[in-house]
A and B are shown apart, each in its own frame.
Chain A
């Protein structure tokens, strides 16, 4: 089955800095790569996703890049703010499967 590795497990940045979280996946058939944000005491929420026919996608301060050859994808957050502090999960799935495989999560702490 699919295996998703996520790094780092924790990340501390100063407000205004950029943050990058990286994930690798094992199944070359995977073609859908979402990112979820989990705030304290809440369920995860989708913040951005990318499909394998696209190399990069941006939404305001958030961007995701995908390298299918190397089987890795990354989340980039620019101009970080304290409200960006949360746990972020990457995930992968393929059109042949109904389920997502999640990475183990990255706790991002943005200090004012």
Chain B
């Protein structure tokens, strides 16, 4: 089915380990985003990408790395996971322009022990 999919949906890891969250969209949307959702903080932007090979920092980028070699994929890597990165991570995409509907994935719940 067309849409935006995230994997894994649930992940438990230990402090210091590297973790990659995957995001794939089938619409060929130009823009892709990574948000984290924490109680009391709402949705905070980590990184976004306007097109393949173009990425930019959001509000809370420290400790995260992204890449976008293909339009449809936007993986998020935690190079050395910390407990403060325990969160629910949402990937989203948008067709183009500066405004318009964001389409969110179902989320990836990450627990760092």
Contact = CB atoms under 8 A, between A and B. Distances in A.
B98 A44 contact: no
Nearest to A95: B98
B45 A99 contact: yes
Contacts of A25: none
A45 B103 CA distance: 7
B74 interface: no
Interface in B68-107: 90, 92, 98-99, 101-102, 104-107
A13 B30 CA distance: 40
Contacts of B31: 98
A89 interface: yes
Nearest to B38: A104
**Which 6 pairs of residues, A with B, have the shortest CB-CB distance?**
A43-B104, A104-B42, A32-B99, A102-B43, A46-B101, A105-B42
Interface of A: 1, 6, 31-32, 34, 36, 41-46, 49, 51, 89, 93-105
Interface of B: 31, 33, 35, 40-45, 48, 50, 56, 58-59, 90, 92, 98-99, 101-102, 104-107
Given A32-B98, A43-B105, 7 more contacts: A43-B90, A46-B102, A93-B98, A100-B102, A101-B45, A102-B43, A104-B40
